[in-house]
Amino acid sequence: MTSVVYERVALIGLGLIASSMFWAMKRSGLAGEVTGFARSVETRDTARRIGLCDRVSDTVVEAVQDADLVVLCVPVGVMGQVAAEIAPHLKPGATVSDVGSVKAGVIEAVQPHLPAGVHFVPAHPIAGTEHSGPESGFAELYDNRWCLLVPVEGTDPAATERLRALWEGMGANVDEMEADHHDLVLAVTSHAPHLIAYTMVGVADDLRRVTDSEVIKYSAAGFRDFTRIAASDPTMWRDVFLTNKEATLEILGRFTEELFALQRAIRTGDGEHLHDYFTRTRAIRRGIIEAGQDTAAPNFGREKS
């Protein structure tokens, strides 16, 4: 059995990630009381209606009062602003964390605002769905997914260990990583793939006006997988790209280089180059399935429609 890790937790921002954290903490009794705050009245009303958080506060200041752990679950572009607002009201000895998909930019934006005696342990749970908002969360989101902790220089190791215990209690595997390395790895596994999916779906949308609904009707040929990724929250993703600019552009540069090489192989009829390339990429899928990070069932084991 797990036991209470933090007496009081405050979740700032009540979207998919925060709501899943709430249900996961409740599932295992990891927190005494969980308070929540969201900027929009509508989100706060929804949270109250569905029982998301033990107490929903109408101000961010009230939400963080006496909290032992404050988790910033807002788009990375507004993390700094929220940190500035809450800083004077943090309990001495409290831990501040976040769940942003970019780490160097968030650290730069948040850390200067935090008073001495408050521990800052940035985090990034590698989990999500294409849905967003307070009603999209569920307790199992983090089960067997990775959560990366990116402690800043001078962080008390005890604060990091306590946050690790929380994430492990919510079902995640926990690793520590340095911020710049995190941002490069995520540019590969997440940020570049998202931009590419958004782009391809945008191209299809332009063509849809020509071909009516054919693109949608025949999407099962592969395209529908891209549309799931490209249905992710626009504000969150705008901020990710603007905040992890350098690493994303570097990976996109490599992507374009490879794409041009494959396009040339198609144009010149170099079947061997294509076949070799496609054979190599197959092995990666096997690695992901063996690592327990995806299902081996055909088509992700989609429900039959």
Positive or negative CA dihedral for 67, 70, 73, 76? positive
- Site for its own copies contains 50 (CB under 8 A): no
Paired strand residues for 124:
148
* Residues 152-181 within binding reach of its own copies (CB under 8 A): 175, 181
Decide: 9 and 25 in contact? Cβ < 8 Å. yes
Beta strands in 13-99, from DSSP E residues, in sequence order: 31-37, 55-56, 69-72, 95-98
Read off the tokens for 37. Answer: 């705050």
d(CA 251, CA 175): 23
Task: Give the one residue of 4, 61, 158, 203 binding its own copies; rule: CB under 8 A.
Answer: 203
Determine if 288 is a binding residue for its own copies (CB under 8 A). Answer: yes
Q: Toward its own copies, which CB reaches closer, 160 or 248? A: 248
Shortest Å, Cβ 200 to its own copies: 6
Tell me how crowded residue 49 is: count the other CB atoms within 10 A of its CB.
Answer: 11
Q: Which stretch binds its own copies (CB under 8 A): 6-14, 66-74, 105-113, 214-222?
A: 214-222
Instruction: Confirm or reject binding of residue 224 to its own copies (CB under 8 A).
Output: yes
Residues 69-108 that bind its own copies (CB under 8 A): 77, 101
Largest CA distance in the chain: 67
For its own copies, give the closer residue by CB, 6 or 198.
198
Residue 209 binding its own copies, by CB under 8 A: no
> Considering the complex, what minimum distance in angstroms separates the CB of residue 94 from its own copies?
29
> In the window 229-258, what residues touch its own copies (CB under 8 A)?
229-232, 234-235, 237-239, 241-242, 245, 248-249, 251-252, 254-256, 258
Binding flag, residue 215, its own copies (CB under 8 A): yes
Q: In what order do the strands lie in the sheet with 119-120?
A: 55-56, 31-37, 6-12, 69-72, 95-98, 119-120
Distance, first Cα to last Cα, the chain: 39
> Binding-site residue total for its own copies (CB under 8 A)?
113
CB 121 within 8 A of CB 151: yes
Q: Which range, of 37-45, 58-66, 85-93, 132-140, touches its own copies by CB under 8 A?
A: 132-140
Please identify, using beta-carbon distances, which residue of 55 and 224 lies nearer to its own copies: 224
